[in-house]
Amino acid sequence: MKEIDWSKLTFSYTPTDYIVRSHYANGVWERPYATSDATIPIHVAATALQYSQQAFEGLKAYRRMDGTVGIFRPELNAARLQASAKAMYIAPVPTDLFMEAVILAVKKNIDYLPPYGTDATLYIRPILFGTTPRVGVGPASEFEFCVVVTPIGPYYPCGFGTTPFVINRHVDRAAPLGTGQYKVGGNYASSFRATEPAHKQGVGVLFLDSAEHRYLDECGAANIFLIKDGIYVTPKSESILPSITNRSLMELCADLGIAVVERPIAVDELSDFQEAASCGTGAAISPISRITDPDTGKVYEYGEKPGPICQLLYKTIRDIQFGRVEDTHHWCKIINNQ
């Protein structure tokens, strides 16, 4: 294990020893291999640079309580990357190749996996992009698949807490029939003009649907759920990325006897809920203290401390990820860490 002060890790990039690569040409993906070269030569006219022909994923490896290493639901990340690839006219990465590359990246950088008890993890970033040089508009015929890993600290260095959010009606995250349901870089880059000013003020951004600016869409780069009278309610929309964390939380709700409803949620309903939170790979659950609507002046309060259902769900999913309870759903892919 590397000599790293795990307590000082943040959610930022720390160089590791290897990345994993695979190239697609002539209709075939090559066998993934590890390389210590973290740079990739790419033609200046590659479709990834010219036309944003790119997709990516995000998942984590955990050092579990019994010393084993687990990766949380990687097969769902493989499926979601395949959906993004098809939407962007990229050759999809087969599930077995995706799994091989991810596991190889973790094993080759196992010394960077934080020890159990630090609440830190190894973040895994698969990246897929077109490399064919093109000036005329069109898709590539060759692609690169890479897996980068980096150790990251706990999302809440001072403990599980809340964040205020603000509604933004002046920047659209994604069009109804656009790429919002796919994990592609353009969705995030186009949101920076809303999220970066907000982050400087210590708040997150709640995006609305771009058709009517009436319904909740996403919280920055994450899904949102709200609790009303003990019921888990989350937006249903074709422009929202299908979050693996949100899906897992809904399945945990079924285990815990918590009803789940997926439906459009209008802004004017926000006062009806007792708890609200964003959810995603980074934090699992990030409870929301309040949502401010600057266009109407309304403020929707949910409390400065996480509510009881947010606390229950956060503890439950983290206990599964870190191996503190039985993984009855078999969500964690356990790998040999030798």
Q: Give the amino acid at 322.
A: F
d(CA 198, CA 192): 9
Q: DSSP readout, 158-177? A: TSS--EEEEEESSS-S--TT
Dig out the tokens for 217 from the structure. 């869409």
Q: How far is CA 288 from CA 21, 91, 156, 252, in A?
A: 38, 38, 13, 20
What is the biggest distance separating any 2 CA atoms in the chain, rounded to whole angstroms? 57
d(CA 44, CA 131): 9
How many Cα atoms occupy the beta-carbon half-sphere of 284 within 13 Å? 26
Q: How far is CA 114 from CA 40, 45, 121, 141, 201, in A?
A: 27, 39, 6, 39, 31
Other CB atoms within 10 Å distance of the CB of residue 153 = 19
Q: How far is CA 160 from CA 80, 117, 163, 311, in A?
A: 28, 15, 10, 9
Is 305 considered catalytic here? no
Q: Assess contact for 259 and 287: CB atoms under 8 A.
A: no
Catalytic residue among 107, 108, 183, 333: 183
d(CA 58, CA 302): 29
Dig out the tokens for 91 from the structure. 């050759």
Q: Assess contact for 91 and 55: CB atoms under 8 A.
A: no
Q: Which residues are known catalytic residues?
A: 183
